[in-house]
Structure 1
């Protein structure tokens, strides 16, 4: 291949990459609030499944607040990573590679979300002691998820704009 052809090939590839980034909104500086909100909603789904399950199990077993929160946070990470891995595995990637992608894509987002929503649950008077049959518990949890979504969305927007977080997953869709 001549130098001109190599240059032309790189130029065409570059144009395609720029076109694809512009068309799909995944390029540097093209991160939208919608993209960030969707990434955060994806994260929130896994976190909510894990947290609710952890709260139900911890409460059913009569565990204290610290043990119940620890279980809920652990399960939030498990379900958050699992939701990402399902999509990546469908792209034909190995389990090990899918796990690496999920860790890169979701760790910061889940961590921020867990700190915020558990912090809200702890500061709402009586929420952690209200029990699963209480409207206070479920109302506080719903409020905690809303606050966590609002705090985590700008974090995800920044991460995606830097090519990190959920931007890592886009290569597999």
Structure 2
């Protein structure tokens, strides 16, 4: 395996800082979508399952959109940028969504909390923080193999 494939900096060591930065990038899009989905679902009275599905869909949409925005600046077409986003973010977003939605569902009363309740916002914050902690090692492993967020760096 060549060193470029091992990680985007050309060395064989992937640092926790690199993994945390990749995870933070992913978390930004996920958090926008997750929070927006929970707010819309709660405000409109969607069933809990519908709120979770909406949050997951929006997390992927915003996560991919943030990556695509960056790589399209390098001259990639929409289609090519979408392929890069799929390769870069799918596993990271999926892990984050499994973790953060599991945490929210596990917190008693969180799915029934309203927008004005501290439990609504506190459970969202806690779920995203736990998702960040769990996803960072996943991203470190992937970057070390030239996968995940490592594929984006050739387009910046």
**TM-score, scaled relative to structure 1:** 0.85
Gaps of at least 5 residues in structure 2 are none
| 1:158 and 2:137 matched | no
Q: 2:13 is matched with which residue?
A: 30
Q: 2:49 is matched with which residue?
A: 66
Q: Quote how far apart the aligned CAs of 1:37 are.
A: 0.1
Gaps of at least 5 residues in structure 1 are 1-16
**TM-score, scaled relative to structure 2:** 0.94
Q: Quote how far apart the aligned CAs of 1:132 are.
A: 1.1
Q: Contact 2:19/2:140 (CA < 8 Å) preserved in 1? A: yes
Which structure has the greater CA radius of gyration?
1
Q: Quote how far apart the aligned CAs of 1:25 are.
A: 6.2
Counterpart among 94, 106, 115 of residue 98 in structure 2: 115
- Please state whether the residue corresponding to 2:112 is helix, strand or coil: coil
Counterpart among 27, 51, 62 of residue 34 in structure 2: 51
Counterpart among 127, 147, 165 of residue 110 in structure 2: 127
CA distance in 2, matches of 1:64, 1:28: 48
- Please state whether the residue corresponding to 2:111 is helix, strand or coil: coil
For the aligned residue pairs, the C-alpha RMSD in angstroms reads 1.5
